Structure 1
Amino acid sequence: MIASITRYASTRDLLSAAHVHALTRAGRHRPHAIAAWRPGVDLPAPGSADMDRLVDELNEPLIQFAADTGSRPGRSRQVWQCALRTHPDSAPLSDQAWANAARRVLAAAGIAPPGDEAACRWIALRIDDHEARIVAPLMRQDGRTPRTHQDISRVTAVCQLIELETTGSRRHTAALTRNIPTVISAQGPATAPADHFAPGRLAAPSR
């Protein structure tokens, strides 16, 4: 399993992009929520009133505390996305396995530690048999900014551990990273992302 971490300006764009990317994959999968900061969350259709409500709910802490932090919701890159991918030759993970992986990644990144009821709001989406994405606006519900320093290193270590637990080796991770750009973080594009795993695409490194 490998991870690609980037930051964007728009929660809505990331959720809508999940639909587009799923439809471009073999089998035309319907993306769906596999876990979130609260129970009962699903991924609505782009442009729907339900999508508006979900975006507003995810962004609520970011909007509420924006003035205190000097941030500019919708303009600053304050929405964290992590795309998780397993090797195409590996057995597909269940929704529950992807959900567990997402929670471990969020804990490792410092975004949603286990049992922290004031953590950032987030949603994990299944894109197809071998990819899931996590979207999380970077504002805790108590108004503090999450500590995401070295999130790339910590998330990479967790992904390697998950692969080891799942397959007994890290060969799939090694094979993926030979053909896919190195896991990096981001002051990446502020608009909706292209496919992180398309050959030759790199998010801009942090400066």
Structure 2
Amino acid sequence: MIIRVHQRGGDVGPVLADDVFDTPLSYEEKLPADIVVAYWPGLNVDTAVGEPGSWTVLDWAEHINDPLFEYPFAVSPGQDRRSVFHLDVRLAPEDRSLTGQEWSEVAHRLARAAGIEIPGDDQGCRWVAVQARPHHLSLIASLIRLDGTWQRQPAGFRRHLAAEARRLESDLGLLTPGALTPTDRIAPLAEATAPLADARRVIELHAQLLAGHPQAPLREAGHRLEWLARRLFDLERDLTTTAAELRRPPAPPGAMAPSPPAAVPAARTGARPPM
């Protein structure tokens, strides 16, 4: 499980409409209940526009953005108004698919680890978690609380997120970065992917820790590590595919290739129809 924390933004709408899904959505498009896997516990559906499962992208964006417009003087410790917190979670390709309830547990536990959700705090942050793609989850929140103050996340919250990710992997039976999978140990060529898998997962973990870092050079280093991890994943996949081809048993000696289908003779031009 790899977690990436994005740079904070100023509006939920573009994050939900453009950044989360593979294909950009219109603001009028609904986010179905099976896409929205979790949201902040204080959501009062009695005053909402219908049930949250029927909300559009615009409904969710306005709901989470509300504190930003209601409290125009709320600023971060760095004196800026970029209140949109966004993280995404990606499982390993070899991981099993999680159920909706399991994704909901992942979202709530990561929201608590990031300091977004505090049990018993009814004036906290508004947030929503959507599963836009298989093996992926995005959590979007406003760091301006309902009481008009800025939510101060715990120091080193990225380390808290990484530690919680390890606990979730253990609880849900998922792979931990650096762990070997059965396909890494099948054949000599497949075994060559094991060091690549180890390196890729370690690089992904460090890329996650550097993503969104306040110092620009470290953020750039995180982006380069993420690019390198993608290249290693492509190479690892190619090696695994080649190993599978080599394991395929050869055709038995003397086996004949299937004959191509006989060609149908073309009709002669000007032929007389049968009597």
Aligned equivalents of 2:133 and 2:110: distance in 1?
Answer: 19
State whether residues 152 and 185 of structure 1, in contact with CA within 8 Å, keep that contact through their aligned partners in structure 2.
no
Query: Which whole-Å CA distance do the structure 1 matches of 2:83 and 2:112 have between them?
Result: 18
**Is the 8 Å Cα contact of residues 125 and 141 (structure 2) preserved in structure 1?**
yes
> Of the candidates 26, 36, 39, which is equivalent to residue 36 of structure 1?
39
Which has the higher mean CA deviation after the structures are superposed, 158-167 or 141-150?
141-150
| Aligned structure 1 segments of 4 or more residues deviating by more than 3 angstroms | 68-71, 171-176
TM-score normalised by length of structure 2:
0.57
What SS is found at the alignment partner of 1:81?
strand
Where do residues 50-129 of structure 1 align in structure 2 (5 Å cutoff)? 50-69=56-75, 76-129=81-134
The separation in 1 between residues aligned to 2:146 and 2:174, in whole angstroms, is: 38
2:163 to 153, 157, 179: 157
1:160-203 CA distance string (max 9 Å, x none): 110011127625678563353333342599xxxxxx9x95189x
Query: Deviation of residue 68 (structure 1)?
Result: 4.3
Judged with a 3 Å threshold, the aligned counterparts in structure 2 of structure 1 residues 16 and 76 are, in CA distance, closer, same or farther, namely same
> Which residue in 1 is equivalent to 2:11?
10
RMSD: 3.4
Q: Does the C-alpha gap of structure 1 residues 5 and 182 become closer, same or farther in structure 2, counting only changes over 3 Å?
A: closer
The superposition leaves residues 102-154 of structure 1 with CA deviations (integer Å, 9 ceiling, x where unpaired) of: 11111111111123211100000002221000000111111121121322111
Q: Which whole-Å CA distance do the structure 1 matches of 2:152 and 2:17 have between them?
A: 27
CA distance in 1, matches of 2:89, 2:76: 31
- Give the conservation status (yes or no) of the 8 Å contact 2:74–2:150: no
Alignment-mate amino acid for residue 17 of structure 1: D
What is the correspondence of 1:133-152 to structure 2 with a 5 Å cutoff? 133-148=138-153, 149-152=155-158
| Structure 2 unaligned regions, length at least 5 | 25-31, 46-50, 180-196, 217-222, 230-275
Which structure has more relative contact order (CA 8 Å, sep 6+)? It is 1
Task: Rate the CA distance shift 1:3–1:70 in 2: closer, same or farther, 3 A.
Answer: closer
How many residues are aligned here?
182
Change (3 A) 1:54 1:127: closer
* Structure number having the greater helix percentage: 2
Contact 1:8 1:80 in 2 (8 A): yes
Matched residue, 1:205: none
* One-letter amino acid of the counterpart of residue 52, structure 2: V
Secondary structure (helix, strand or coil) at the match of 1:135 reads strand
Structure 1: which amino acid aligns with 2:208? T
| Alignment check: 8 A CA contact 2:177 2:202 kept | no
Partner of 1:182: 208
Listed as ranges, the gaps of 5+ residues in structure 1 are 24-29, 45-49, 190-195, 203-207
SS in 2 for 1:3: strand
Identity of aligned residues (%): 22
Instruction: State whether residues 108 and 154 of structure 1, in contact with CA within 8 Å, keep that contact through their aligned partners in structure 2.
Output: yes
Tell me, in whole angstroms, the C-alpha distance in 2 between the residues paired with 1:146 and 1:112: 10
Give 1:58 deviation, angstroms.
Answer: 0.8
Give the number of the structure whose alpha-carbon radius of gyration is greater.
Answer: 2
* Structure (1/2) with the larger strand percentage: 1
Q: Is the 1:83–1:133 Cα contact (8 Å) retained in structure 2? A: yes
